[in-house]
Structure 1
């Protein structure tokens, strides 16, 4: 499946990045760029990452998520998709990633 990274306009210091499709070492560049841009922007208080449409992820995707988590501003939106679910369990990182519902996103942050 083709992958896509969409960055919504910031609202109240929250930058929403939505990822759909397959993400592996060869297709991770757009997410890396969006994550780096958000992390370097001092007006972004929270990086909200919606991975609901993720269909494939490898260890390089997990590495990118951990990099974004180190900013102290990352939150996952809606749920952890099946493509990452098992990897979160195997590596024991599930509890590191805060998850909020899309409807509660702005209120929760």
Structure 2
């Protein structure tokens, strides 16, 4: 069982920090590379670039809750929701496991 998890490529869980523009301000978000890959696919599924998707999601959070809180955590959970809806990791990611 543990080989599935411990055998993955360390690059997949390397933390990657990206600069993004939200509400006209530049900020950075740090996520593991695997989450960035999933977010890229999620954004494409919704018909957006990653930057557009993140900005729209951030705006919707502000409108709905008045505050964003921990945006990185929200993005990780968004990825799990996306995957639980039947999306699967790419063939390349699955092969690394």
Same topology, TM > 0.5: no
Which TM-score applies when normalising by structure 1? 0.24
Structure (1 or 2) with the larger CA radius of gyration: 2
Q: Per residue, is there more helix in 1 or in 2?
A: 2
